[in-house]
A and B are shown apart, each in its own frame.
Chain A
Amino acid sequence: MSDSAVLDRKTPAKPAPLRAKPAVTLSEHIVEVISDSGEGAQRCGQSLASIAARSGNGIWTVEIIPAEIQPPARSVAGASGIRIRIGSKAVTNGGDETDLAVAFNEQVLLGRVRAGELKPGATILLESVWREHRDPAIAKSYNDTLEALQKSGFRVIEMPLEKECRALMTDARRGKNMFVLGMLCSIYSFDLQLARDQVALTFGKKDRSVIDTNVKLLEAGFAWGEANLDFKYAIPATKSTQPQVVTNGNTAIALGVLASGMDICAMYPITPATSASHYLSDCFEKVGGMVHQAEDEIAACAFAIGASYAGRCAVTITSGPGYSLKQEGLGLAVMAEIPLVVVNVQRGGPSTGQPTKVEQGDLLTAVYGSHGDAPKVVMAVSGIEDCFYSMITARKIAETFNMVVVVLSDASLATAQTPFPRPSFSEEWLAPPVDQSPLPEGSKPYDWDAVTGIARRFSPGQPGGMHTVTGLAHDRNSKVAYDPQINEEGLRARSLKLAALQKTLRTPPVFGDPEGDLLVVGWGSTKGVIEESVERLRAEGARVSSLHLRFIQPLPSGIGEILRRFRKVIAVEGTWGDRLEDELIDSDNRRYTPLAMMLRSRYLVDVDCWSEARGQPIKPGNVVKALRAKLEEGK
């Protein structure tokens, strides 16, 4: 692919009459827009994603976020933008490398190229304003990079973004993103009117003149694409007959909180969880709820526990470091049997780690965290739609079993967008009224059921139910007790509740055949990636299936049987696991990935693991490679 189509910048790009270019039909394509922070690449990409979704295409977006708020301009580490995978059918993950990249400068582009994010031979549309920059160092950097990229086989097309935009607005730098949006609409054969509507929607809160300027930029970009580019794509859409909702995972979580009947969310700002609370702050009060921004993570957890204790199940939303701080409070909720929903939008760890990057590193801390034996329910969301419904399920479980329910999401789902069918509201989603009925004499606040361990909870306001809940070991009357037998009675009851819940869970479905050579087990945001990888291998004839877990504590029945129907089992996770190719690592000291560890100990099956913790969503291509190697192993 060496046919570089570098436009001669001396030829002015005159708006040529629209001619029908033959559009190449594709089943999917990955496009990304990258710029310095603040140049609007994300807004451009999000608008393109919305236009694609409104056209009936499947989409999945991956935000490209620099670690700093205002990284230096034109820096390799400063790339800010968005990647959109557009497909004919529903898209469940970000896919492999980028097919088409639009870059506002060569440095942010270099960052992406070096990270291996661009497909070999990919098409690059590059802002050409730097070519003759007055700073010779910048001009040289641009020209050298351009040459190097062309040499390595990329098809680089220069586009005079700034020059074109300057004709339409004084601050050309601020208009580039909408010009690019128009150009991309031309490339992907999207309906221009749909794009105009989207721009009006995007800038809906602004002045009419702002919308007009941006529509002009959009149209100019579209015309430029039509006149100057020698290629055009069409990705046929599969239209849905149902209304679809397009949101990211954090918004879906917030909508789920709204729909679950919870009405207090206590939080403390933390990346990448906070946007869920931002959204809730905007809409919660209209339905009688409130977001409490506490003084710290511990206080947020304690506030939620207090509200739940008083009869209104509350949620606290956080990420790794905040989750660590909440651990003591979670133990209190476990001990006192106060329902509580905790959302952990995982990020890279340990410690401050990679705040804006994805990792699935908090599974074991969620399952086993807090000192002593503190059984909690742990669920993991596997997609955007799941973010919504999991909140309703979590609240119900929390209140039915008087337990802490931890819902694990992660940084990739937090910002990823994909459409899902618009939920239709059901009254059953909501919490029942606070029980204020008087209690008969002799009622015990911890009257643990002999079989299920469940006790009816008393709320303040209920006559006859007065007692003091405590984090100390206590008897059925909630009296502090150090009696050896009573201590075990409480431990038993709190543990039994997990078993009682486990008996109600369905065995998760196997994706692919029920038996075969290799079973891939995953949890959380990797569902789409794993299933796509399995599909690719099955298309080649490999006997591979996968199993995705929504409940990890407790694990539903029937999983052991599924594992045993496959010759090999491997867990695929987005976190660290020791690699056998390292000199010191052997079967005696290998630290398996968290889920592999849990499956091995529970089912006594030799579950292997493959993982990546690169701060990026895992690519199906990498999973396919790993699975192929596992299939070959021992052959």
Chain B
Amino acid sequence: MTMATPLSQCIIKLHEERHDLEDYQGGVPRWCSGCGDNAILAAVQRLCRDENLAPERTVFVSGIGCSSRFPHYMKTYGFHGIHGRAFPIAQGVKMARPDLHVFVNTGDGDCCSIGAAHWIHAIRYNMNLTVILHDNHVYGLTKKQASPTSPVGLKSNTTPRGSVLEALNPLTVTLGVQNVSFVAQAVDWIPELMYDIVSKAFHHRGFSFIRVIQRCPEFLPKMFEPWLHDPAKTLLLTHESGLQPSADLGRIYRNQRAHDPLDIHKAREIASEEDPIPVGILYRNPEVPCYEDLRGAGKPRTVEAVRKGLDAEFDKFTIWPGEQGQSRAA
């Protein structure tokens, strides 16, 4: 008998049947209407259907905040964790079960503030996770406090005379960490590109980080209006291995730039541009090793191996009756 059945055998059988959208739709989302989270949910559910992911082998892990309600609205496995800790929880899941598809949903407070230490290290571990940063520039669930990505001057309940700090840029931070392997940016108001980016992220093996700039209709209703009204304020990053917008979309968003996602220096330059907002794949490097591979996750483990291993360890510390010293002269 094997103690922990090899993971390859754990998979009873791949469901051959096609899944439709309903197979991924959990409860009715309780987000405000017009909230960018809804757009992300729609893109992710479409991805699951198109990739025909087995719902039982798909896990959404989140922290705390509006965005982190995400797993409740999927009909897969989900782990709605604690504030800031989605990354280490997801890493534990992936390490124990590398065969599962693991997604992380986190917000700008969850990821860039309380969970910032985990974020930095998650990039460095580069585990195969699809990560979506729902960045609405404000705390929503706790009712309008400034977040690390809030623009300077934002009036909120904790900054009534305007916030005093420059906003943190999640893209430059991520691109500055050793072992970064995938960075993209999407906006909630261009669903076609959101889908393409989520799909590219899913297919990248490694820590795929997508920052989604999204609207909060409740607390920052006007924040992105200039961008919504003027397509020229959005810069599409195109490449044969990156985004290839449809002709229709291309007619609206004419501000485009060819960018090779392998070029990290260009990626860093683009990341620091905030107006127009760059949308697309900034960086992708499939060569960065994943922590779970380096650490041999999913290796089969047998009773015999444990018995042998334990005996070998005991041998190092054992005093056998026969080797005990002779009785000493009194």
Contact = CB atoms under 8 A, between A and B. Distances in A.
B121 to A, nearest CB: 4
B79 A20 contact: no
A221 B4 CA distance: 53
A469 B310 contact: no
Contact of B79 (A283, A299, A309, A422): A309
B325 interface: yes
A493 interface: no
Contacts of B242: none
Contacts of B33: none
A444 interface: no
Given A189-B329, A263-B301, A295-B121, A329 B85 contact: yes
B251 interface: no
B313 interface: yes
Indicate the member of B91, B320, B324 with the most A CB atoms within 10 Å.
B324
A460 B59 contact: yes
Interface residues of A, number: 90
Interface string B1-21: 111110000111001000000
A433 B5 CA distance: 6
Interface stretch (B68-76, B190-198, B275-283): B68-76
A328 B92 contact: no
A227 interface: no
Given A55-B328, A461-B97, A436 B89 contact: no
B117 A190 contact: no
A480 interface: yes
Contacts of A194: 325
A466 B55 contact: yes
A306 B4 contact: no
Given A433-B4, A434-B10, A251 B93 contact: no
A522 interface: no
A434 B4 contact: yes
Given A307-B96, A460-B100, A298 B325 contact: no
Interface stretch (B38-46, B174-182, B292-300): B292-300
B85 A431 contact: no
Given A189-B329, A431-B3, A469 B80 contact: yes
A244 B329 CA distance: 24
A468 B93 contact: no
Contact of B305 (A239, A288, A302): A288
Contact of B313 (A54, A283, A438): A283
Interface residues of B, number: 78
A28 to B, nearest CB: 15
A404 interface: no
Interface in B291-324: 295-297, 299-303, 305-314, 317-321, 323-324
B212 interface: no
Interface stretch (A310-318, A346-354, A600-608): A310-318
A425 B310 contact: yes
Interface string B44-83: 0000000000111101110000000001101111111110
Interface string A435-466: 01010000000000000000000001111111
A481 to B, nearest CB: 12
A540 interface: no
Given A258-B306, A302-B89, A461-B10, A466 B95 contact: no
Nearest to A312: B96
B309 A244 contact: no
Given A309-B89, A466-B75, A23 B97 contact: no
A189 B299 CA distance: 51
B34 interface: no
Contacts of A469: 78-80
Contacts of B2: 433
Contacts of A466: 55-56, 75-78
A159 B77 CA distance: 71
A594 B103 CA distance: 43
Contact of A255 (B82, B307, B313): B313
Contact of B12 (A263, A460, A463): A463
Nearest to B309: A287
A194 B297 CA distance: 43
A299 B319 CA distance: 39
B85 A302 contact: yes
B88 A460 contact: no
Nearest to A254: B313
B325 A304 contact: no
A237 interface: yes
A285 interface: yes
Contacts of A170: none
Given A245-B314, A251-B317, A299 B100 contact: no
Contact of A287 (B91, B99, B310): B310
Nearest to A460: B77
A309 B76 CA distance: 14
Contacts of A468: 26, 60, 71-72, 74, 77-80
B118 interface: yes
B72 A470 contact: yes
Contact of B309 (A51, A237, A283, A304): A283
A190 B325 contact: yes
Contacts of B330: 23, 25, 234
B321 A243 contact: yes
Interface in A301-334: 301-312, 314, 328-329, 332
B95 A290 contact: yes
Interface in A460-509: 460-472, 479-480
Interface string A181-209: 00000000111001000000000000000
A471 B56 contact: no
A463 B76 CA distance: 10
A567 to B, nearest CB: 44
B27 to A, nearest CB: 7
A243 B320 contact: yes
A480 B72 contact: yes
A311 B94 CA distance: 11
B162 to A, nearest CB: 32
Given A246-B319, A436-B10, A461-B11, A431 B328 contact: no
A480 B71 CA distance: 12
Nearest to A246: B317
B112 to A, nearest CB: 16
A558 B41 CA distance: 56
A266 B324 contact: no
Nearest to B71: A468
B117 A287 contact: no
24 contacts: A23-B329, A54-B319, A242-B321, A246-B319, A258-B313, A283-B309, A283-B312, A286-B312, A287-B309, A290-B95, A298-B88, A302-B118, A306-B88, A306-B89, A307-B92, A309-B79, A310-B93, A312-B96, A332-B82, A431-B4, A433-B3, A436-B5, A465-B56, A469-B79
Given A302-B85, A306-B96, A468-B60, 9 more contacts: A261-B306, A283-B309, A287-B306, A300-B88, A308-B96, A310-B100, A314-B96, A433-B4, A468-B26
